[in-house]
Chains A and B, each alone.
Chain A
Amino acid sequence: DIQMTQSPSSLSASVGERVTITCQANQDIKKYLNWYQQKEGKAPKLLIYGASNLRTGVPSRFSGSGSGTDFSFTISSLQPDDIATYYCQHYHNLPLTFGGGTKVEIK
C-alpha cells in the first residue's frame, strides 16, 4: 500500500497569510493526487485533482504542485472561511490512501 505522509498536522496562521501543507508518498504516484477540504461536521470536498488542477468553482487562492513523491498545497492568502482540515489522497492504484490531515486555524 502507498503511504501518504502529510505535514504539519496542524497550523495556526493570520488572515491574509500564506499557508503551505506538504504531502509525501512513499513511492512514485506521478500526479495522481487529490487535495480535499473538510469543514467540521461536513464531508470532504475536492479542491484540487491531478496534483495541480483547481476544481471549477474553487477560489484561486488555493493551489497545488508536485509530482512523483513530493507534493504541496498552498493557500495564498488565508481567509476565515478556510478554517478546516485538509487531506491529500493518492489515486495511483488501490487501495486509495489519505494523508493524516492538517487542521488549519486562524491565529
Chain B
Amino acid sequence: EVQVFESGGGLVQPGGSLKLSCAASGFAFSSYVMNWVRQTPGKGLEWVSAISAGGDIPYYADSVKGRFTISRDNAKTTLYLQMNSLRADDTAIYYCATSNLWGQGTLVAVSS
C-alpha cells in the first residue's frame, strides 16, 4: 500500500526540541521531493520545508529557517524534521507530503 506515516509529535516547552519522522512505503521514495506541511486552525495550511529526492538540497519557509532541519534516509525510506527553538506559534499538525500523498499528521504542541 502506498502510504506515509508521521510520528514524533508531542507536547514540548517553548525553546525545546522535537524530531519528527515520516516512514514511507509502497512507492519509489528516493525519486520524490518530500515536504513537511503544517496546519493550524488560525493560519490554515503552511508549507514548512522540502528536500530534494537525493537529500542534498533542503528548502525552508522563512518562519522556520535556522531552527528546523529537514533530512531523509532513502535507504530507510524515511523523512525527518528536526525542530529546535520551538515557539508557541509552531503548534500545529505536521504532515509529511508529496503532492498526491499525505500522511495522517502528527500533532506538535508547544506550551509551558
A interface residues (Cβ-Cβ under 8 A, vs B): 34, 42-46, 49, 55, 87, 89, 91, 94-98, 100-101
CA distance A50 to B46 in the complex (A): 20
A49-B99, A94-B59, A96-B35 given; 6 more Cβ-contact pairs under 8 Å: A43-B103, A45-B102, A46-B100, A49-B100, A95-B47, A98-B47
Count CB-based A-B contacts (< 8 Å). Answer: 40
| In contact, B102 and A34 (Cβ under 8 angstroms) | no
CA distance A89 to B98 in the complex (A): 13
Interface of A is mostly: loop
Partner of A55, one of B44, B47, B100: B100
7 cross-chain pairs, A with B, having the tightest CB-CB distances, nearest first: A43-B102, A96-B47, A98-B45, A46-B100, A94-B59, A95-B47, A95-B61
| In contact, A94 and B50 (Cβ under 8 angstroms) | yes
| In contact, B95 and A43 (Cβ under 8 angstroms) | yes
Chosen A-B contacts, 27 in total, with CB atoms closer than 8 Å, are: A42-B104, A43-B95, A43-B97, A43-B102, A43-B103, A43-B105, A44-B45, A44-B95, A46-B99, A46-B100, A49-B99, A55-B100, A94-B47, A94-B50, A94-B59, A95-B47, A95-B59, A95-B61, A95-B62, A96-B47, A96-B50, A97-B47, A98-B45, A98-B46, A98-B47, A101-B44, A101-B45
Q: Which of B89-112 contact A (CB under 8 A)?
A: 95, 97, 99-100, 102-105
Q: Which residues of B contact A97 (CB under 8 A)?
A: 47
Q: How far is the CB of B61 from chain A (nearest CB, A)?
A: 5
Q: How far is the CB of B68 from chain A (nearest CB, A)?
A: 13
Q: How far is the CB of A40 from chain B (nearest CB, A)?
A: 12
Nearest chain-B residue to A47 (Cβ)?
A: B100
Q: Which of B29-88 contact A (CB under 8 A)?
A: 35, 37, 44-47, 50, 59, 61-62
CA distance A87 to B46 in the complex (A): 12
Q: Which residues of B contact A91 (CB under 8 A)?
A: 99
Q: Which residues of B contact A100 (CB under 8 A)?
A: 44
